[in-house]
A and B are shown apart, each in its own frame.
Chain A
Amino acid sequence: MLLEVSDLGKNYDASRRRGKVAGNAAAGTPRALSGVSFTAGQGEFITVIGPSGAGKSTLLRCLNRLIEPTDGAITFDGRDIAHLPGSRLREVRREIAMIFQNYNLVYRLTAIQNVLHGRLGYKNALAGSLGLYTEDEKARAFELLDEVGLGEFAYRRADQLSGGQKQRVGIARSLMQDPKVMLCDEPIASLDPKSSRMVMETLRRLTRERGITCIVNLHQVDFALEFSDRIIGLRAGEKVFEGAPEEATSAVIRRIYEGDAETMVDVPVEVPEAAPAAGAPGAFAVEPVAGGVQ
């Protein structure tokens, strides 16, 4: 298995790190994650669903150590990365790309500069700081921009792109890393239905064509049912469901979101599990957009 997570736990009170979870770790929750185990094979498309504050963001950020897990083990490509010393973290991080709800582009730089950032993990401090990329890297960055349909926007500043375009620059940046795994934290939560579909289709294509493993946090259950190979349900930091989309019946989904009145509204409980797309365009996350527009 490419990625094996066993008994992963995170307790925010125990570790007084100042790293913030994107507004998801509800205050007063004693454990953000406890005893989460799963594996991910090459080229698998896994979505993680669950109510706000269930620990989805924390889970993803533990996998690339943006957040330090309190206990448990993570094995990536045969290496134990949960206990890797900080100095060797970048070797692992460059193979685990991440895309974000708010795109997190350096908005004053151009699209092409943002794509090239994906190479920073492979460059020494001086070359990376000064932005000295090789001709091969530059050519590849242009190729990737073309591939996500943004070739003509290469020299456009990131803050002049639309939300969907920004997210595709984010995807190109992560592909620049030549990743084995892509972690996607609410990649479509700030996008309109059309852009959302486009981004999800791009992600699925990557898993099929390049064998990249995608782990995607989603609020849109209908998209999860349509795109995933496997769905993991999180509630209050614990894994409460794991299975194929066919197994995620409306009863199962209701159980995952149980007791979360706000999100209940979005769960297409009336939709029979065979035709998940019926509730599509309207089914949008209620969760407020965290960082707003960049």
Chain B
Amino acid sequence: MSAAAPAAPAAGTGRARAVDLTWFRRRQLRTLMGVVAVVVAFQLCSMVCNFSLTYALGSVPAAFVWMFQNFVPTAESLANFPLVITQTVSTALDSAAATVIAAIAGIVLSVLGSSTIGVSWAPVRGAIRAIASVFRNIPMIAWALLLLLSFKQNEFTGFLALFLTAFGQLTRFFLDTFDEIPTGPVEALKSCGAGYWQIVFQAGLPLAVADLMSWMLYMVETNIRSATLIGLLTGTGIGFVFNLYYTSFRYDTAGLVIIVTIVFVLVIEAVSNVARRSMI
């Protein structure tokens, strides 16, 4: 842990340098005190909660053994492989679609709300930031639960929950991206007599597009992961398949779902990394 910087050596004393050899020792002492404080706090909390570190660590191996015994897919569970694959693909496509549509909406709003190429009327920019904030700060699970009431258990509910959070997140990221584009080229186009939309399309978007795509791909990845969880609630996709087998004690098929999901996410991540590199 880094201790806060000690008082600056007497400023304004002219040419005299403040030589203080105890400074280093005092700094080390502060770090040491910090570490001790953390350990003491941990011990106190453990006592209050009746938590035993040794017992907790000791039970880990047994838990893993149990997991491997039960969750490893059996030959029997492989019969469900086609179902698992089709459901995983459909879940992934669903979340990718939600993210891309969210990105399009996000780009429109963040262009208008940015400080560099946004509309000049400040209340509009403030409102866009507020909208992004609201959608971003409502957790995806909360959206799913809310939407379940009106849209019932179907794929569209999951799609909407993914869309709304991705929209909030991406608008926020895109606003930052547009805020950081260099103002020079924007000024140059203005000096050529370019109009607002010409500046947006000929300077704003080209300068931001690599970052925008990178954020969008990141969101596609996260959304595929989240979609699994959303599926548990909405009773659709791979999440539903997992839940079905898990609650009926068919752990081997549930394990198969987990493995397929992990492999799928890794593949998507690798693909989007390649896409990112080709766009720089």
Chain A residues close to B by CB (< 8 Å): 20, 64, 66, 89-94, 96-98, 100, 102-109, 117-118, 120-123, 125, 128-131, 170, 173-174, 177, 183, 291, 294
Contact = CB atoms under 8 A, between A and B. Distances in A.
**Lowest 8 CB-CB distances: which A-B pairs, in order?**
A121-B193, A94-B193, A104-B188, A104-B184, A90-B193, A120-B194, A128-B198, A129-B201
Given A109-B206, A129-B200, A129-B202, A121 B185 contact: no
Contacts of B185: 104-107
17 contacts: A66-B191, A92-B193, A104-B185, A104-B187, A106-B203, A107-B185, A107-B207, A117-B189, A120-B192, A120-B202, A125-B195, A128-B198, A129-B198, A129-B202, A130-B201, A177-B192, A183-B191
Contacts of A98: 188, 191-192
A198 B78 CA distance: 73
Contacts of B193: 89-94, 120-122, 177
Interface in B198-213: 198, 200-203, 206-207, 209-210
Interface in B159-200: 182-185, 187-198, 200
B159 to A, nearest CB: 31
A293 B191 CA distance: 21
Given A100-B188, A104-B187, A120-B189, A125 B202 contact: no
A288 B190 CA distance: 25
- For the residues of B in contact with A, the DSSP-based class is helix
A97 B193 CA distance: 9
Given A104-B184, A108-B210, A294-B184, A125 B192 contact: no
A128 B191 contact: no
Nearest to B184: A104
A157 to B, nearest CB: 10
Interface of B: 182-185, 187-198, 200-203, 206-207, 209-210
Contact of B195 (A90, A108, A131): A90
A91 B189 CA distance: 13
Contacts of A91: 193
Contacts of A109: 202, 206
Contacts of B190: 66, 93
Given A106-B202, A173-B192, A291 B184 contact: yes
Contacts of B194: 90, 117, 120-121, 128
A140 to B, nearest CB: 15
A111 to B, nearest CB: 14
Given A106-B202, A106-B207, A20 B192 contact: no
A94 B192 contact: yes
A174 B188 CA distance: 10
Contacts of B203: 106
Contact of B182 (A94, A131, A170, A294): A294
Given A94-B193, A109-B202, 11 more contacts: A66-B190, A90-B193, A100-B184, A104-B188, A105-B185, A106-B185, A107-B185, A120-B202, A121-B192, A128-B194, A128-B195
Contacts of B192: 93-94, 97-98, 117-118, 120-121, 173-174, 177
A180 to B, nearest CB: 13
A90 B198 CA distance: 12
Contacts of B206: 106, 108-109
Nearest to B196: A125
A97 B191 CA distance: 7
B68 to A, nearest CB: 50
Nearest to B194: A120
B200 A108 contact: no
B197 A125 contact: yes
Contacts of A123: 198
Contacts of B198: 120, 123, 125, 128-129
Contacts of A104: 182, 184-185, 187-188
A130 B210 CA distance: 18
A15 to B, nearest CB: 14
A217 B57 CA distance: 71
Contact of B209 (A89, A108, A170): A108
